[in-house]
């Protein structure tokens, strides 16, 4: 996403930021992470840093599946679907492709929440261990049931790695999400700042993001 003022290139610099941060935190933990797994987690953080990708949206008439629908509609509401619902949708899916999509969404949401919001989960009845267990199972099923086609086979190695070392990757994401940034606007994490900037286009937030290592278009243009 790019603002009208072209202040920040979130499609490239933010992804590069997450890639570098994940690499650094993995090295600190002596966690040998394969490049394809690293990029999967990079893309996960990059995609879910946008609230419209992370939340499921519903309008007054039911779930909104239109890709062109504006999220500014006051009748739309973002909600986080329970993991058990994703599992049920996978079990009731009419096709293998649909089933795999629901399982992947389950695993991705479990990974993201476990890593980025583990502190909040300690205050809930359903804790981090539940999310880790559900995520491990979803990714393991995706790896074990991959068909013979090249795409699913290439993904199987990633899903197997994510399943077997889920808790370790959660620790890495937690470190990345908790990396301190300037607190002049009161936000607690880089992801919160990114989401706020994407919704408001506030130049002050762009300045803070630059100071946190996110390259701005103006900086790129000078190189």
Instruction: Give the pLDDT confidence of 165-218 residue by residue, as tens digits.
Output: 999 999 999 998 765 444 333 334 565 666 666 667 777 877 776 666 554 443
- CA proximity to 175, closest of 10, 15, 27, 21: 21
Q: What angle do CA 20, 23, 27 make, to 5 degrees?
A: 140
Tokens of 146: 């991959």
At residue 205, the pLDDT reads: 73
pLDDT of residue 78: 58
Phi, psi (deg, nearest 5) at residue 95:
-140, 160
Per the CB < 8 A criterion, the answer to whether 113 and 121 are in contact is yes
Ranges under pLDDT 70 in the chain? 1-12, 57-78, 120-126, 178-199, 209-223
> For the chain, first and last CA: distance in Å?
21
Nearest to 89 by CA among 117, 69, 71, 65: 65
Tokens at residue 151, please? 């795409």
Residue 165, pLDDT score: 98
Three-class HEC string of the chain: CECCCCCCECCCHHHHHHHHHHHHHHHHCCCCCCHHHHHHHHHHHHHHCCHHHHCEEEECCEECCCCCCCCCCCCCEEECCCHHHHHHHHHCCCCHHHHHHHHHHHHHHHHHHHHHCHHHHCCCCCCHHHHHHHHHHHHHHHHHCCCCCHHHHHHHHHHHHHHHCHHHHHHHHHHHHCCCCCCCCCCCCHHHHHHHHHHHCCHHHHHHHHHCCCCCHHHHHCC
Q: Give me the pLDDT at residue 151, please.
A: 87
């Amino acid at each position: 996403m790019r603002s009208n003022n072209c202040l920040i290139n979130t499609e490239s610099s933010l992804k590069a930021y997450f890639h570098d941060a994940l690499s650094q935190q993995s090295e600190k933990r002596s966690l040998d992470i394969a490049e394809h797994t690293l990029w999967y987690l990079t893309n996960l953080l990059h995609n879910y840093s946008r609230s419209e990708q992370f939340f499921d949206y519903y309008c007054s008439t039911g779930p909104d599946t239109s890709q062109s629908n504006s999220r500014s509609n006051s009748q739309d509401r973002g909600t986080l679907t329970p993991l058990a619902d994703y599992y049920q949708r996978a079990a009731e899916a009419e096709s293998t492709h649909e089933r795999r999509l629901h399982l992947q969404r389950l695993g991705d949401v479990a990974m993201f929440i476990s890593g980025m919001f583990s502190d909040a989960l300690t205050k809930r009845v359903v804790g981090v261990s539940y999310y880790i267990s559900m995520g491990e199972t979803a990714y393991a099923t995706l790896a074990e049931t991959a068909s013979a086609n090249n795409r699913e086979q290439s993904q199987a190695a990633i899903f197997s790695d994510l399943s077997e070392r889920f808790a370790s990757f959660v620790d890495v994401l937690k470190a990345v999400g908790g990396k301190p940034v300037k607190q002049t606007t009161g936000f607690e994490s880089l992801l919160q700042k990114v989401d706020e900037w994407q919704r408001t286009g506030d130049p002050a937030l762009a300045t803070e993001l630059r100071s946190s290592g996110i390259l701005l278009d103006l900086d790129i243009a000078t190189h």
